[in-house]
Structures are given as C-alpha cells and as structure tokens.
Amino acid sequence: MSPLRPERTAAHTGRAGRGAAPAGRWLALGVVAAGLLLVSVGLLGAFATAPFASADEAQHTAYAVEITDGRLPELDTPVRSTVPGMPGLPADCRVPRGTARAAIDRAGAGSLPTCAARDAGLSNFDLVYTANHPPLFYLLEAVPLGAGAAAGHPLAGFYAARVLNLAVGFAALVATALLVRLLLPARPDLAVAAAAVTGVTGAFVAIASQVYNDALAVALITAATAATLALARRGPSARTLLPVAVLLPAAALSRAAGALAVLPLVPAVGIAVALGRAGSAAARPRARAWPRARAWPGWGRAAMAGAAAAAAAGLLTALSAGWFYLRNVRLYGDATGTRRIAAMFPTGSGHRPAGEVATSGDFWWLVYRGLYGRPTLLAGLPIRVAAGIGLLTLLGLLIAAAGSAVRAVRAVRDDSAEPGAGGGGGPGPESGRSRAVEVLCWVVVAAQALAAVATLVGFTAAGGAPFTRYLLPALPVLALAVAAGCSALPLPPALARRGVPAVLVVGALGGTAAIMLGRELARRDPALAGNDTLGRLRGALAAGVIGPDHAPLFLGALAMLGLIGLLLLGTSIARLSVGQESASAGDPPVDGGGQFGGAPPGERPGVLAAPGGGVGVGGFGERGPQCPGEAVGEVVRPAGRDQPDPGGTTDDLANGGDVGGHHPRAGGERLQGR
C-alpha cells in the first residue's frame, strides 16, 4: 500500500491542512520561548553556583572523568580531584576500591597509599556513590570534561559540561511539548504552557544547570513515552517504530530508575501495534478473501503482531541496558543499588512500609515544596507562590472535571433522545479503535507518572532521603496539570483562553526560582546574606568566572532573555488559543483533528471508512466537537461495490490509482493512508 501523496492530502484536508502549518509554527515558537526562559534562569544557576557546591555534583563529575579514562566506577571508587575546587584525592592518586572500603569500615587511613594520606580519613562522601547509575549520561558529559582536561583548562571543561546539561534540559522541554501534543492533539496551547512550566520549575532548573543526570532522565523518559503515544496514534510504520526502538533502551540507560520507567512502555508498545494492525485489517476490503481467511478474526493477527512487537521492544531494551542492571545485582544486591546506598547514607528514619510513606501528608508536603527549591529556605513570597499555584491548579482542574461531567451527561441524554442518530449502526470499529487509543495514551502517561512516584516512595521507604528530584520524570504530567488548571479558571475568555493565567504562573515560577537561587547562594556564602536577591546574584557572579566587570551585563542579558521568552510565550499561547476558538466556532481545528483524536502537526491524516461507504480523509476520521455529525476531512465514494478499478481507468487519483480496492497493475493501489 502506498502512502498518501502530499498534494492529495492537502486537497482532501482543505482548510484544516492549511491551518496545521501556522499552528505548528506557533507551537515551535512557544517551545523556543520555554527554552529562552530555561536558559535565562539556567545560565544564572550554572555560573553563579560555585563548582561542586551542591551535593553529588562532584560524584557525577568523577563518574564522567572515570569514563574518560576508560573505566566504569563502582560505589566504592574514591573521587579524584581532577577539576580545580573539586573535593577528593589527588588527580593522580588511585586507590583500589577494596582498599578504600576497608579504610572506611575501619575508620582509619593506615591501609591507604601515601598519596591518599590526609588529616581526615575517607568516608562514604569521598566515594563515587553515583556509580549505581547507567553510563549514558556520563558518556555525554565526558566529552566536554575530557576536552577541557586535554586542553589544559579543566575548569572550562566543567562549565561546558554544565552548559551541555542545560541543552539536555531544553531537549526535555521539547519532549514535554511533544508528549502533551500527542496526548491532547486539539490543545497545542497546553503543550506550550506545560513546556514553559517545566522549564522554570526550581527543582528542574537546579538539576539542568549543574552536572546531574536527572535532566537526561526526564528528557529520555518523556521522549520514550511520547514515542509510544505516537505509535498508538499513527499506527506501526518505520517512522513510528524506529523512535521507540531507540528511545526505550536509551531511557533505561539514563539513570538507575530508567528500567522501572520503561516497564509500562513495553506492553504499551505491543498494544499500540495491535490496535494499529486491527485498524488496518478493519479498513481492508474482504470481498475476495477466502472463506477461511474471512473466518480468521482480524484481532487475532493483530494480537500476534502486538505480542511480537512487545517482545522485540523488551528484548532490545534488555540487550542494551540489562547488562548494567545485572552488574548492579552482582555488586550491590539489587538492580538499582538502592539498598546499598541507603545503608551508606542512613537518614535515621530506618526502613518504613511503602504504604506509610505514600500516605504521609508531611512527606508529600515536603516533596511539593522541594519542587520550588530547598524546603527549609521556602518562606515568605516563595511559599505563597507555591501555595497559590497549587490552589489555582486544583481549582481549575475541579472546574474542568465538572464541565466534562456535565458535557458527558448531556451527550448521553442527547443520544437517548435521538435513537436513530449516527445511522442506526452504532459506533463502528474505527470509532472503537480511536477510543481504545485514547484510553491507552492516558493509561501510559499515568503509569509513567506512577513509576516516578514508586521510585521516590521506594527509596524513602528503604531509608533514603526524600529527594524531590526523584519525582522529576513525572514533572511533565504535573506541568500539564498546572497548564490545564490555568486554562480552566473561571475568567473571561479573553484572559483564560488567551493564556494570561499560564503566563503569569510561568513568570511567578521563574521569579521564585531566581529568589530561591539567591537564598541558596547566601546559605553557602554568608557574605552574601546581607544583600537582596539581585545583590546576591550579582555578588556570586562577580566571585566566579564571570567576574565583577561583566556580572551586571550578564544579569541584564539574562533578564532580557527572560522577558523575551515571556512575550513569545504569551504570543504563542494566544495565537494557538485563537485557532482553537475558531475551530469551536465551526472552522476546522488547527491540527485537523477532534479534541482528543486529531493528527498532530506533521502527522499524515488517516483514511478510513466513512458513513455511507465512502472513505473519510482526516485525523483518524473522528467526529470532532467542532463540527457535530461531520467526519473531519473529505468523503470520497468508492469506485464500485466490492470491485476494484483497474489501474489507469479511474479519475479518483491523479496518477490513476483507485480508491475502492487493490489492483496489481500500476496505479491500482488502495488509498488507505498507511
């Protein structure tokens, strides 16, 4: 079967096809705006925060340095000071991991070599305790670190590694926008808003502006989830299967919790392929099929294809990443090394039942505050911003849920009042497939968020500290909730639908991130404590590589970037919302689809059976809420009942191809849009 030709697609989709391109441009502009906002606060954190001032950054850097030397570290490998200001043993001092562990357990340095001699003995904090993570992130960061060391400027290489991680953070914003776009095709404004909220959340800014592997985990896990949704929406093809084959193993190699994040995606890939194959079988004409073939249910073959796809995805992921998790089991007793690390750094709380942790209000309040910065510093205006955003989000979601319930009741009532509606045949197989795809997409996203929650709860229950950054793979879902809540607030349409609440929330989050950064800097350097936020930031930049002469200019440039980002964000959301309002007024939606089933920008519209035996061309052939009773796209009648036209004898296609069936001659392929 041949794909739709671009010129044919444009002709069939009409105004919807022309509207998708501007929507795509405004969507891209919004993602760029979100990136500018991340850069404005991220570069501030990257250059104002002293190297290795944050916990774990030295260990992440040491891991990458070991990679540059061709070694894979273990939890007992000592940190070596290879960058100015980096804690650890001298750069040329290598201590076998067994020797280091023995010295720590015996609380003495007698067994250490002379190069490791120092007043204080080794402790667990002097080890590469991040070695339980897979090496993908460290292979990436080894490039600037190794280049800096080779050039004789290791500190420059370190700051380049921070900037590279900020670029990874921007990739996470792109993945967030894509995920929301695929989850809610008719709401591109929410995709932009969710990306912006993610980019200015304090916890995300902190890990993206320093050498931490969390930003890469967020980017790859979100991208893998989005690829799974694209497979479900568009059906199996080389363009949808290849990203899944690449991103699932990459997500499993992003950090220790990556394997848990991939677990729900493997069966989802199988279900998505099964739904796509079933849809293809349902649209295929069966007039010339053998009786035995007609008796074979289309779902049987689809299920077999889905099972094979899930098995292939799982096998590929296991072959790519399984070796490392088996190594963790051999060295530390479990796949992620959680129990070993919790034993190395006891918090005093000991082991607790996971249910007790998951139902603790104090635990979740601590985690929520951690999204904005260090919880102990969250006071005054920042805590009011945090509480206000939480309440506004909850209010908006409740209003949206109530509105959805009312619309559902009205739809049921209208269907009951018009028993003959819809042609009397009930929902067709394609309608059922669309609903199944919709449910699958939401279940996959929910399962991914629950996997992040399980990681955080499990680590805390094992005796570890409740680090909010372990929840960050679920941040795109939380950001979507904030964006959706803002758009549903009971405000005049000119404000709510034009994105004014979302832009204000993003601005408040960005300002809060800057305030919390200033407080964090003052906590580490008491000399900055007497200054206001601007003075703290300027003082920290002046004391670092930026220097006192360039600190004001650097601050001004970042502030200008932030303002430009806010303006572009507001423009993008407003334009996308205008397109949505036009669709609600009767025009085709900007993406050519319904509220939940349209084709995202760049997606090839499908072709499926239309009422009366025609072929509907549009985003999955759904009846969108904008045009009740109409199939999105053009309806083309078949050439004849169960009789394919010979190639070159029909006027349906410019190249002589027919619409009603298949013929082996040139131009005789069915127009299936596959």
| Residue 572 belongs to some domain of the structure | yes
| Residue 443 belongs to some domain of the structure | yes
Helix (H) or strand (E) holding 453: helix 429-461
Measured distance CA(124)–CA(100) in Å, rounded: 9
121 — pLDDT class (breaks 50, 70, 90): confident
Dihedral pair phi/psi, residue 17, rounded to 5°: -65, -40
Strands 89-90 and 80-81: what pairing? parallel
pLDDT of residue 194: 98
Over residues 325-367, the pLDDT tens digits come to 999 999 999 999 888 888 888 877 778 898 999 999 999 999 9
Number of domains in the chain: 1
Burial class for 284, CB neighbours closer than 10 Å (0-12, 13-18, 19+): middle
DSSP code per residue over 364-412 = HHHHHHHTTS-GGG--SHHHHHHHHHHHHHHHHHHHHHHHHHHHHHHHH
| Residue 605 belongs to some domain of the structure | no
Mean pLDDT of 227-248: 96
Mean pLDDT of 230-239: 94
Answer for the pair 29, 23: CB distance below 8 angstroms, yes or no. Answer: no
pTM of the model: 0.81
Show Cβ contacts of residue 72 under 8 Å, excluding neighbours closer than 6 positions.
66, 131, 135
Mean pLDDT of 364-388: 96
Helix (H) or strand (E) holding 54: none
| Residue 187 belongs to some domain of the structure | yes
**Of 184, 243, 245, 250, whose CA–CA distance to 217 is shortest?**
250
| Residue 453 belongs to some domain of the structure | yes
Unique residue bearing structure tokens 């580490």:
524
Confidence check: pLDDT of 522 > 50: yes
Compute the residue count for the chain.
Answer: 674
Mean pLDDT of 184-197: 96
Answer for the pair 206, 45: CB distance below 8 angstroms, yes or no. Answer: yes
**Residue with the larger pLDDT of the pair 162 and 9:** 162
Instruction: Show the beta-strand stretches assigned E in 82-151.
Output: 89-90
572 — pLDDT class (breaks 50, 70, 90): very high
Answer for the pair 441, 233: CB distance below 8 angstroms, yes or no. Answer: yes
Mean pLDDT of 158-176: 98
| Residue 141 belongs to some domain of the structure | no
Report CA dihedral (168, 172, 173, 176) to the nearest 10 degrees.
Answer: 170
Over residues 477-500, the pLDDT tens digits come to 999 999 999 999 888 877 766 789
pLDDT of residue 559: 96
Unique residue bearing structure tokens 């750069």:
91
Query: What percentage of residues in the chain have a pLDDT greater than 70?
Result: 76
What is the 8-class DSSP label of residue 78?
B
**Of 339, 263, 294, 257, whose CA–CA distance to 75 is shortest?**
339
Confidence check: pLDDT of 674 > 80: no
Token reading at 560:
């200008």
| Residue 290 belongs to some domain of the structure | yes
Measured distance CA(253)–CA(217) in Å, rounded: 9
Show Cβ contacts of residue 329 under 8 Å, excluding neighbours closer than 6 positions.
335
pLDDT of residue 254: 94
Confidence check: pLDDT of 414 > 50: yes
Domain encompassing residue 476: 6-49+163-419+429-584
| Residue 132 belongs to some domain of the structure | no
Over residues 278-318, the pLDDT tens digits come to 866 555 555 454 444 443 456 788 889 999 999 999 999 99
pLDDT of residue 627: 37
Question: Looking at this protein, which amino acid is placed at residue 419?
Answer: P
Measured distance CA(353)–CA(349) in Å, rounded: 11
Mean pLDDT of 538-547: 95
Token reading at 423:
């042609």
